[in-house]
Structure 1
Amino acid sequence: MMGYVALLRAVNVGGTGKLPMTVLAEMCRELGFEQVRTYIASGNVVFQSNATEKQVRTELETQLHRYAGKEVRVVVRTGRELAGVLASNPFAESPGSHVAALFIDGALPSDPLDGVTGLKDEQICLGMRELYVFYPNGMGTTRLRIPSEKYGTARNMNTVAKLASMAAMLT
């Protein structure tokens, strides 16, 4: 069985897309996922499955659509990939709360600054399947807009570290 981490987009953020994590966990169990654990109320779930990444994403998005009555995008990574994201963080010396990984399903831009607006002191670097973003003044006041945001979802490095740790503990 493969250890996966599913990251839901726009769930329980700013009052939109309310989804109790107990409901998310139950959905995952109904899909046959094992050792299901959620982390904080922003749509993070760790589990094991024999399905492929694409199958996991499709099945979970279908369940979420039934529940919410609208599309809920899901980004899926293996536990090993998440550990790699953490290890490859180009801003590892910065506080984890000031660095985010923008997980993207689809092609990364060849230039991480292409189409970006509102850039001030922030820095953006390419990863393997994600963009790393450093917010020196914190994420709360930024005006930064990255076109790839519509194809993915971001998590700060503290959350990435916790999810990678949870995934590593799957047996």
Structure 2
Amino acid sequence: MRKETLYIRILLTSICLWLAIITLKSYLKRTNKNPRLVKNTVKDNQSYAFTESKVHTGAMTKQEIRKRLGNSTWVLLHTMAATYPAFPTQEHKKDVLKFLILLTKVFPCGDCAKHMQKMFSDYPPRISSHDDFVQWLCECHNMVNERLKLPQFDCSKADEIWECGCEV
């Protein structure tokens, strides 16, 4: 094998390895938001993270079901916003608007559905572009969080949080 070919292979392998490490770091950074991490230190001062697994036993309470339903709905909506085009077609806008309206009609939690209907009526969906939809949805989420006395999201980072549509 010629020297040049060997150098090119080494360079390409190094680039692939670097990309794999960057991708893994990015993935771990995003997924470390959900698991609760426990830090354990061993004698050589290396730190290892172990995730605690939450074992579900028995039926969930109504409050747990309601919380899970709300969280899952926000994941779906934020994922939709993250993948919403910068320049949506009229049909795409119409479909998203229909989806949001239908969601308020068929949502399993009656109180939540009424809150959604009022919020969407008082604060109509902004679906003219990706940025408008992401910002509008984040602002809606913050309104709900304020009512529930939960922390506010930094709307300027919404795209970072939901960029790939796989953040849970």
Q: TM-score, normalised by structure 2?
A: 0.27
Bigger fraction of residues in helix: 2
Instruction: State the structure with more CA Rg.
Output: 2
Bigger fraction of residues in strand: 1
Q: TM-score, normalised by structure 1?
A: 0.26
Q: Point out which structure has higher relative CO (alpha carbons under 8 A, 6+ apart).
A: 1
